Structure 1
Amino acid sequence: MVVKLKTLGGALFFAALMTPVAQAQDCRLSLNQSTLDYGVIRHEAVLGTRLLHLSVLCTQPSAIALRFSGAGDAEGFRFGQQGRFRLTLKHAQVDGRAIDWSGAHLPGDSSVAPLPPGQVLVARAVGKRLIAQVEIEVDLPADALQVRNHVVLEGRGSFELVSPTVPLSR
């Protein structure tokens, strides 16, 4: 007899990294937490949207650009074998002022910025402190929950500070 257990454990792991160019600018990127644990996921579960808080602190006013590196494709970053997660930056401020983002893939409203695999977002302001909310949305197909044993789903990636290709004006 085969018993189907419809439970999965899920976690997303994030890290904050800086490229050597960003270190030369003397900036530091941080997140309020590096892991999101979805716990046991049952077949009727709705994973919903989760939020992280990202901040970048620089010793001198700097142009700030971000990238998230992780396994992914055009639909998002990988979460387990079949799932995907997507990142969106919202409510960004540089030195207390609301800002827009520039990037090749942005829709009309550049204050809400999706961060797909392989893309860089550049803050349209120069400053010492950037803060933003990172919205994480997970899509997991129903058939991914049809498992026989406990399965751990993971998504991994790193936020990186990168040097903008064109200096921004103040």
Structure 2
Amino acid sequence: MNPIIRFVITLVSASLASRVGVDDVTRTRMRVLPNDLDLNLHMTNARYLAIFDIAGMEFMIRAGLGRLMVGRGLRPLIGGRMIRHRFGVRPFERFTVSTRVLCWDDKWFYLDQRMETGRGVAAVVLTKGLVRDAGRAQTVRPDELLRSIGAAREAPSITPEIARWLAAEQMLRVQDDC
């Protein structure tokens, strides 16, 4: 199934599903289809990222951010991901992606997402995402977004795994003198 079709199906089902809090976990269920496969006959690496995007959108919609974003012209953007593949997901295998917010700072939300099959956790990904105001060309602070949906709270401390990831990410920064 084309990722855009999966996205539309998830958009509709998330809009009809019960609302979740920012501390909750959403579970997005799917199945590996033939066009998800690579030459090794398991889900291609690129498809994982599209599926994690779709699962993240489900979380945002169910948390109440979807209507807010459409109404204010806001756009979610991914700033980085770190993924660990544990084993390949097979043709027609069912899987579930769990999504939860670990923490946030003055710019970014940090998500933990896991793809699970009946055989265990197939992949783990940490995602760094933000929301941009397209009209004003600026980032909307996570605390402002949460306040707008009635979920204001103090930001949880940056977790150790996020701190290590951010430190490692510094190695990939483009230097001005390169």
Q: What TM-score, normalized to structure 1?
A: 0.25
**Taking CA–CA contacts closer than 8 Å with sequence separation of 6 or more, which of the two structures ends up with the larger relative contact order?**
1
Q: What TM-score, normalized to structure 2?
A: 0.24
Q: Which has the larger radius of gyration?
A: 1
